[in-house]
Amino acid sequence: MSKSGREIELKLELETTAQDALKRAGSIDGFTASRAVNKTLQSIYFDTPDQALRKARISLRVRKSGNSWVQTVKLGTGVMGGLSSPVEAEHPVKGRALDFSVIEDPAVHDRLLEIIGDAPLSECFETVMKRTVRNLTRDSDGTFIELAFDSGNILAGSGSQPLTELEMELKSGPSLALFEAAKALLKDIPFRFSPYSKAERGYRFAEGTAPAERTPYFAENVSFDSGITTEHAFRDVLRSCLTQISENRLAVLSSDDPEGPHQLRVGLRRLRSAFRLFLPILNPATMAPLDRTAKVIATEAGSLRDLDVLVDEIVMPLVDRAPATLSFDALLENLNAFRDESTRTTLTDHLKSEEVNGFLLDLAAYTEGRGWLDPENFGQTQLLAQPVETHAGEALGKQWKKVLKYGKRLEELTIPERHEMRKAMKKMRYGIEFFGCLYPKDTVKPFLKRMKKLQDIFGYLNDVAMAEQLPVKCKVSGANALATNQAIGFVIGWHEAQCQAMWQHAKGYWEATRETPKF
């Protein structure tokens, strides 16, 4: 049976044990689930010697299931936020070889021939998967979703690479139902949005690229095409934030690397900054719940990050600088215990919760389903359609005024006001990172460079303010009390002296930042 049309899939990665448990799951809230059906799928992927199909975001394969072979062409194979929506053309074929004569859609047929030209096609890699299929139905709106639990290997040359993935394909119903079904199915099971299609995974394995690990993830540069609409720019920024948040959620859960909570907090701060920088084009009612949850998680990640900085960057560097009579052992033992037993546990327990799963899936649905639309805002369409250059100039100008308001009174700022200025500068910096690709590099770089120096001073001041809370955090009694208090006194005194020296440079850095031309 032939099939042609647009396929909408949500692709997720799970731990193998979690995936096995979900295969056997009973009822799924809000949906009726069919019994599981198992099959083995062998898929062979083809391309030209210079990978013309891959470059055009087209996949071409033949797949064997049982005794039948099906040829599939997919146009538009990218994955964003785990969501894939290629145009798909499937047709039965007689065996392992390709047969373009069976393709019924002339647009697909012509596009394929246009890309391939006279180049030869050959097998590049294959996948062999054990697939468990369950169907979900929702009577209220006719939603029908196919769950496919895939577990197997990518094969290329003499090598193989394991692959475990959950695909949720929408057969009928609204696309947002995919995210709703995922929330009902996964509950509190941590997952990863698949960054690649199976075809792209195969290409990457064939050329020797290692699979992505659960290590701290640094946001990649956001890049827009000139003239892109403000709405599409916002969507691309959200995709960047979502990837950074979801990847670092897993990094925190799988490792004690301090960079994990740091990058998780950065991702959440970038998201909240994006909400504010794009606020004039958004529906506040749909944005607010996501912003609230992001703030809670960011606060928890920040508490752990602050302790990491306190231990690794404030206390530890002074161990070798202090007089030999001072001992830091009890202080560090106390801080490490508090960090691991309380702060890290609070964060990791929350990251493994159903609430955080729901937040990530809701953010993905918001991003891919235009969740910012406001039916009450009749001028929104025009704002969404304006070139992003127009919006960027206004947003950055407005944020700079907030920084300027504090900068004009720099020498008079109270400690809380310094903290507010630091936050305003961070939002400004995130905004420049979002929109910087729209401007010449030689105009962006000098401003960022000067502002970073000022941020470093304010960041250090904030870290030292944390050190001043050590007497409250480390209430040590008994034989270790005196040694701990002496170490705390040395830490606070040493860093406060450094602060006084650094603050003398703050005005100069501010003047340099203020006088740098605003691109």
Among residues 447, 434, 323, the alpha carbon closest in space to that of 388 is found at: 434
Q: By C-alpha distance, which of 87, 243, 61, 50 is closest to 154?
A: 61
* Gyration radius from the chain CA atoms: 27
- DSSP letter at 2 equals -
CA distance 123 to 386: 45
Give every CB contact of residue 375 below 8 A, 6+ residues apart in sequence: none
Contact partners, residue 158, CB within 8 Å, separation at least 6: none
For 218, phi then psi, to 5°, come to -95, 135
Q: How far apart are CA 111 and CA 118, in angstroms?
A: 13
Distances (CA, A) of 32 to 8, 26, 321: 20, 10, 66
Q: What domains does the chain contain, in order, with CATH numbers?
A: 3-206 (2.40.320.10), 230-515 (1.40.20.10)
Which residues, other chains included, contact 507 with Cβ-Cβ below 8 Å and sequence gap of 6+? 410, 411
Identify the H or E element spanning 249: helix 230-254
Structure tokens at 78: 């990218």
Q: How far apart are CA 194 and CA 243, in angstroms?
A: 10
In order along its 519 residues, the chain shows pLDDT tens digits of 556 567 789 999 999 899 988 887 777 889 999 999 999 999 999 999 999 999 999 999 999 999 999 999 999 887 887 888 888 999 999 999 999 999 999 999 999 999 999 999 999 999 999 999 999 999 888 899 999 999 999 999 899 999 999 999 999 999 899 999 999 999 999 999 998 899 999 999 999 887 777 789 999 889 988 889 999 999 999 999 999 999 999 999 999 999 999 999 999 999 999 999 999 999 999 999 999 999 999 999 999 999 999 999 999 999 989 998 888 998 898 888 888 888 999 999 999 999 999 999 999 999 999 999 998 888 999 999 999 999 999 999 999 999 999 999 988 988 889 889 999 999 999 999 999 999 988 888 888 888 888 888 888 888 888 888 787 777 666 667 888 888 999 999 999 998 888 888 888 888 888 888 877
Q: Which helix (H) or strand (E) holds 193?
A: strand 192-193
Q: By the 8 A CB rule, do 39 and 131 touch? A: yes
The tally of CA atoms less than 13 A away on the side-chain side of residue 468 is 11
Q: What does pTM read for this prediction?
A: 0.90
> 238: which 2 tokens?
């959200």
CA distance 116 to 53: 7
Single-letter residue type at 182: A
- What b-and-e string marks burial along 81-106, b requiring 16 or more CB atoms within 10 Å of the CB? bbbbbbbbbbbebeeeebebebbebe
Q: How far is CA 215 from the centre of its chain?
A: 13
Residue with tokens 């919760």: 353
> Which DSSP string corresponds to 407-459?
HTTGGG--HHHHHHHHHHHHHHHHHHHHHGGGS-HHHHHHHHHHHHHHHHHHH
In whole angstroms, give the CA distance from residue 435 to residue 444. Answer: 10
Tokens 């703030």 sit on residue: 295
